[in-house]
Structure 1
Amino acid sequence: MCRQLLPAGNTSVGPWPAQTLFFSVSDRRSRARVFHVSATSLDEAWQQGVDWVQAWSAATQRSEPMWLRVDVVTSVRAMAWSQFQEQLQQVKRNYLRYGLALDEGFRHAFTEQEINANAMVYGGAAIAHAEVNMGHLQRYGRIRFGEDFAPVLLPSSPVYLLTTAGVFCDEQGRAHTLSGQGPDAGRRDLAELDAATVRGLVRSGAEYLARQVQEDGRFIYGRFPCFDRRIDTYNALRHASSTYAMIESWELIEGGELKAAIDRALVYLVERLIRTCQLPDGRRAAFLVDEVGQEIKLGGNAMAILALVKYSEVMGTSACADLLERLGTGIELMQDPRSGAFTHVLHARNLKVKEPFRIIYYEGEAAFSLCRLYGFSGNPRWLAMAEKAFEHFIASRHWQHHDHWLSYSVNELTRYRPEEKYFRFGLQNIEGHIGFVRHRRTTFPTLLELMMASSQMLRRLQDRPELGHLLADLDQETFREALVHRAHHMLNGHFWPEMAMYFKQPDSIVGSFFIRHHSFRVRIDDVEHYLSGYVAYHAWLMQQQTQVAVEACTPLPEGCP
């Protein structure tokens, strides 16, 4: 099957080999072993590669199902080593999308996936562009080609950029064709991003998060997968927000192991991360306390509320009602009752102000959580606080930040207060930003969240003809196209097995989501944002299907042909 799906080979004519194939195999637990062959025909190269895979399997006595990937070189571009290094300065770090051969005979050649997964063109976090890392190149080169690998690369030495396309066979023997050039390069081709596919992405991402929840309920916070380096810091806010994303996902896909992980994470949240204290006026307030710096973040309380409200709604329980009241009181302490503005960070030991402002995210998170708390409890106090916050947001022109949490909050507020000023704010938060959503090279998952929350608000606005004038400046078709494009582009931040296999410990990252320009970082909050965006996108796709079905069944007016 793999051979039949393999694309046509090299069409470039030059001193290099006529046809070259890369064979990559992995047991799913360790970095792929790669072997490449060159020949005068694809059939000849294929047979050589098959012989190698069989010999490798016999020598290593591998009996379990493996991942197999075969890439064929489809085009070659020659340049001097110095020119290659200069061109890398125009490439965002980790965004090299070509393979590389170091000699015209392709004796020493690497695929794009090998280069990026081994940080061979990564100069460090302080360097924004790609840069050859000779230490990593030589380290991996010795693994691939032997201890005598020591290329002499003078400024004038010719090197060769390679484009490839290929096929991947998973552990169940299913074959997937792989994209060639462009942002989709290296991952499987998908005919469409339909509801079933999105549901599968949510399932794999949520199952990844569930695997990170340890027995005590604390997450494994994250890792840099090139060399499987764990991230040892912790962030209580992201614990709460990742738990929230798991609950959103469970509502769509369910699953016993996911539910058990959610319960463990919530116990840790409630018993270890949240503290209750008595205020001078006698009220009891609760705060999410971050162990780093012993500080209370406005967004921390907000995310704890969002997680507990969502859990309460999905599971049909009111067990957290008193705690939610105390967490809301904590936010109330951090809001100026006159202006509606929030204080962002307090010292946990004495509730004194540590930072009046830290990051715009906290503002939208707080307003969103107050609206959600109102929806759960019916207490008008929380909605009044949210409206007061929006007085501040509007006066301060917060819409200029185009923040996804602001879209979440205004979408939720307009459910209860469908007033023109709030709809206008929501539109301003996306207007002028749609081109950025459409063309941003990074996967930037919060942009899909921004668009999904905005689309929900637009749907309600369209049902209010008296406010139709607000839509005059919004090109809704362009909006829809940008939304769909962003959902598709985010597929390039998913650790498909055909990509995960090149990293140090594939089974620790497969099915998760990554941030490419941060060394393919996989952190719980990275995965969280992809999940929230795709959960909402799944709902949107189902709405589209329902709308099409309804329109198909709607009878034509009398007299129409």
Structure 2
Amino acid sequence: MTDDVVFALLHPIYARLQDVAVPVGEAGSEYIFFFSYTDGRSRARVETFRGATFADAWQRGLVRLRKLVAKNPDILRWLRVDIVDEMRKSDWGTLKRQLTQVKRNYCRQGISLDPSCRHAFLETEINANAMFYGGPKYPHCVVNEKNFQLYAKLRHGLGSVDLEDGTAVWTFSSHGFFLDQERPDELHEIAGPGRSAGYRVVEALDDDLLSTLIKSSSSFLARQVGDDGRFIYGLHPCFNREIDAYNGLRHASTTYAMIEAWEVTQDDALWAAIERSLAWLRREAICTVALPDGSEAAFLVDVGNEIKLGANAVAILAFTQHAVVTGCTDHLPLLEKLALGIQHMQRSEDGSFVHVLNYPDLTLKEAFRTIYYEGEAAFGLMRLYSLTGDERWLTTVEKAFEHFIAKEHWRHNDHWLSYCVNELTRYRPQERYFRFGLENVRNYLDFVLNRITTFPTLLELMMASEAMLARIEALPDMQHLLSEIDLSKFHRALHYRARYLLNGYFWPELAMFYANPQRIVGSFFIRHHAFRVRIDDVEHYLSGIVAYRRKVIGSVNQVRKVEATV
């Protein structure tokens, strides 16, 4: 990138910001810019430029960028320019009290140690360096003094920052623009204060954007699969640390989501990763065990020699989906044994399931662990039934639903149960099953609309429910059920939740502030877990978005006009 190119790229930003810029700083006398840049391989450098006029502050930043480019043309792969638009004076004691009312990692304002931002930090810097993150024991934001001092030294060369309660501190809001050197014709405006702060303004969820989200996040998952078929389980992106744990259940469920994504992308590298992942399951994780009656069943054996009901279920989902998209029936014998394993874990007297067994003796370890396992088990068997037509699996699911209905499992608002009842009503369009599916979502719409976290399984819940509602609309004998749910509110909540997932996406203008940007860009994160990126986190975002694109994208009225503020 040459000096002339730098100037040409920045000129549109200059023109856009000049019209809205206001002086702030000490006595409202300065214009304050932050220029953030990275080559994509390391955490962004952030530099602050001030001036008595807009042009003066801008010129200072431009001179600096030209010097940088002269030394390293690749240093500005990603460039972000933010301008301060409002500052508020406070003190650390007041700010700390205010932070106790803010969910952890949801502080959406910058911090300055002085009124002119000589020593200041963007909101994105604070989050990416865990400066207001006290760990999982704190549900709210808390000043992490160690991380704050470390980054203050790195960013500003400060030996120590006075964080005592009486010391003055300034909070500020900003907005700006982002440029990607590889896409110089695209200029992205960065949203100002609010839950969408820090990333580009998105006008609508169109096919191009949804396809990009699916492509990038599935590619991320593919890159996590090693030559042996095992995933890098997860990352803590603030400091580029891998999560030292594993979970075979999530290995299988993530593979299922990858196959769903492959149906959209047809990407060769993704398919190769899927094949390696499935091979690992067959080779390393799934074991055959003799049942008391002498027959054989297969179980996915997880860490600690645990046999989890849900693990068998999602293994069935992965291998079944593979068969659906390839037409290959090689895995049918394995699928039957996995299904027999689930049947072995079902209580004959009431249709309920036990959740965890010990391997290899099949003794009971835990009768109940999580409600998710039961919905997963029923959904897995329904997908296998849809593939083979074997009545054993449908009978097992109907027996399970007697238990689900009796125990009012719809109160859990579980997305897996929503998936399952949608599949069940394809073959058994009975009112009691439709009513169960309605109850699973009907009184949950306010939660879907108001939940501050991205909670990606909510979109999965809504999409499975939407498919079931469409089936009810097509059945004259069932349409009376539609009066029991606010359909307008349902569709509003569905589209709102789909758009809200963008708040959990690692756009480059966010990823650039973390320790290894190119490793996480295009993935999804969980903000309140320190922006954790784990394979199952990405999986649930991915499955919801794939379903949203597949079932809704064709409706102009329902999709292109969805511009809810989030």
Q: Which position in structure 2 is the counterpart of 1:44?
A: 56
Q: Which position in structure 1 is the counterpart of 2:469?
A: 458
- Tell me how far 1:165 sits from its aligned partner: 0.5
Calculate the aligned-residue CA RMSD, in Å. Answer: 1.5
2:501 is the alignment partner of 1:486 = no
CA gap 1:535/1:164 in 2 versus in 1, 3 angstroms = same
Q: Which position in structure 2 is the counterpart of 1:9?
A: 21
Q: Distance in 1 between matches of 2:396 and 2:530?
A: 41
2:271 is the alignment partner of 1:270 = no
Q: Which position in structure 2 is the counterpart of 1:430?
A: 441
1:239 to 251, 263, 276: 251
2:168 is the alignment partner of 1:158 = yes
Question: Residue by residue, what CA displacement relative to the aligned partner does 1:139-168 show, whole Å, maximum 9, x if unpaired?
Answer: 11111112x442334423221111111100
Q: Which position in structure 1 is the counterpart of 2:563?
A: none
Equivalent position amino acid for 2:205 in 1: L
Matched ranges for 1:297-376 at <5 A: 297-376=308-387
- What count of residue pairs does the alignment treat as equivalent? 545
State TM-score, norm by structure 1: 0.95
Q: Distance in 2 between matches of 1:334 and 1:275?
A: 16
2:97 is the alignment partner of 1:118 = no
Contact 1:28 1:67 in 2 (8 A): yes
Which is further off, 462-471 or 505-514?
Answer: 462-471
- Tell me how far 1:547 sits from its aligned partner: 9.9
Q: Distance in 1 between matches of 2:554 and 2:341?
A: 37
2:221 to 203, 209, 221: 209
1:15 partner SS: helix
Contact 1:17 1:105 in 2 (8 A): no
2:223 is the alignment partner of 1:223 = no
Q: Distance in 2 between matches of 1:63 and 1:517?
A: 33
Question: Residue by residue, what CA displacement relative to the aligned partner does 1:388-447 show, whole Å, maximum 9, x if unpaired?
Answer: 000000000000000100100000000000000000000000011000000100000000
1:458 partner SS: helix
Q: Distance in 2 between matches of 1:546 and 1:33?
A: 43
Question: Residue by residue, what CA displacement relative to the aligned partner does 1:1-50 show, whole Å, maximum 9, x if unpaired?
Answer: 33234372236686255211000001101000000111122221111111
2:188 to 164, 171, 176: 176
In the alignment, structure 1 segments of 5+ residues that lack a partner are 549-561
Matched ranges for 1:88-127 at <5 A: 88-127=99-138
Which is further off, 278-287 or 402-411?
Answer: 278-287
Contact 1:370 1:383 in 2 (8 A): yes
- Tell me how far 1:271 sits from its aligned partner: 1.0
- Tell me how far 1:541 sits from its aligned partner: 2.3
CA gap 1:117/1:221 in 2 versus in 1, 3 angstroms = same
CA gap 1:47/1:11 in 2 versus in 1, 3 angstroms = closer
Q: Distance in 1 between matches of 2:556 and 2:299?
A: 42
Question: Residue by residue, what CA displacement relative to the aligned partner does 1:259-314 show, whole Å, maximum 9, x if unpaired?
Answer: 10101001001111100122221211000010x21100000000000000000000
In the alignment, structure 2 segments of 5+ residues that lack a partner are 1-11, 560-566
1:176 partner SS: strand
Question: Residue by residue, what CA displacement relative to the aligned partner does 1:70-98 show, whole Å, maximum 9, x if unpaired?
Answer: 00111111112211111011011111000
Q: Which position in structure 1 is the counterpart of 2:520?
A: 509
Q: Which position in structure 1 is the counterpart of 2:415?
A: 404
Equivalent position amino acid for 1:150 in 2: S
Equivalent position amino acid for 1:10 in 2: V
Contact 2:552 2:558 in 1 (8 A): no
Contact 1:23 1:69 in 2 (8 A): yes
Equivalent position amino acid for 2:524 in 1: F
Q: Distance in 1 between matches of 2:129 and 2:35?
A: 17
Equivalent position amino acid for 1:351 in 2: L
Q: Distance in 1 between matches of 2:181 and 2:482?
A: 50
- Tell me how far 1:542 sits from its aligned partner: 3.3
1:6 partner SS: helix
Q: Distance in 2 between matches of 1:15 and 1:153?
A: 24
Matched ranges for 1:134-153 at <5 A: 134-146=145-157, 148-153=158-163
1:36 partner SS: strand
Q: Distance in 1 between matches of 2:138 and 2:417?
A: 31
State TM-score, norm by structure 2: 0.94
Contact 2:25 2:115 in 1 (8 A): no
- Tell me how far 1:110 sits from its aligned partner: 0.7
- Tell me how far 1:540 sits from its aligned partner: 2.2
- Tell me how far 1:62 sits from its aligned partner: 4.2
Q: Distance in 2 between matches of 1:155 and 1:19?
A: 28
Q: Which position in structure 2 is the counterpart of 1:552?
A: none
CA gap 1:374/1:138 in 2 versus in 1, 3 angstroms = same
Q: Distance in 2 between matches of 1:63 and 1:424?
A: 58
Q: Which position in structure 2 is the counterpart of 1:556?
A: none
Contact 1:94 1:116 in 2 (8 A): yes
Q: Distance in 2 between matches of 1:384 and 1:543?
A: 36
Contact 1:194 1:541 in 2 (8 A): no
Q: Distance in 2 between matches of 1:41 and 1:271?
A: 67
Q: Which position in structure 2 is the counterpart of 1:382?
A: 393
- Tell me how far 1:64 sits from its aligned partner: 6.3
Contact 2:225 2:276 in 1 (8 A): yes
CA gap 1:460/1:482 in 2 versus in 1, 3 angstroms = same
CA gap 1:153/1:372 in 2 versus in 1, 3 angstroms = closer
2:450 to 439, 445, 453: 439
Q: Which position in structure 2 is the counterpart of 1:554?
A: none
Q: Distance in 2 between matches of 1:2 and 1:83?
A: 35
Which is further off, 469-478 or 414-423?
Answer: 469-478
1:351 partner SS: coil
Q: Distance in 1 between matches of 2:89 and 2:484?
A: 48
Equivalent position amino acid for 2:175 in 1: A
Q: Which position in structure 1 is the counterpart of 2:208?
A: 196
1:472 partner SS: helix
Which is further off, 70-79 or 398-407?
Answer: 70-79
1:286 partner SS: strand
1:74 partner SS: strand
Q: Which position in structure 2 is the counterpart of 1:392?
A: 403
CA gap 1:57/1:281 in 2 versus in 1, 3 angstroms = same
- Tell me how far 1:345 sits from its aligned partner: 0.3
2:34 partner SS: strand
Q: Distance in 1 between matches of 2:445 and 2:416?
A: 16
- Tell me how far 1:115 sits from its aligned partner: 0.5
CA gap 1:82/1:129 in 2 versus in 1, 3 angstroms = same
1:22 to 10, 34, 48: 34
Q: Which position in structure 2 is the counterpart of 1:551?
A: none
2:262 is the alignment partner of 1:250 = yes
Q: Distance in 2 between matches of 1:408 and 1:471?
A: 19
1:130 partner SS: coil
| Percent sequence identity over aligned pairs | 51
- Tell me how far 1:201 sits from its aligned partner: 0.3
Equivalent position amino acid for 2:514 in 1: F
Q: Distance in 2 between matches of 1:298 and 1:444?
A: 23
Contact 2:39 2:74 in 1 (8 A): no
Question: Residue by residue, what CA displacement relative to the aligned partner does 1:535-557 show, whole Å, maximum 9, x if unpaired?
Answer: 00001223425999xxxxxxxxx
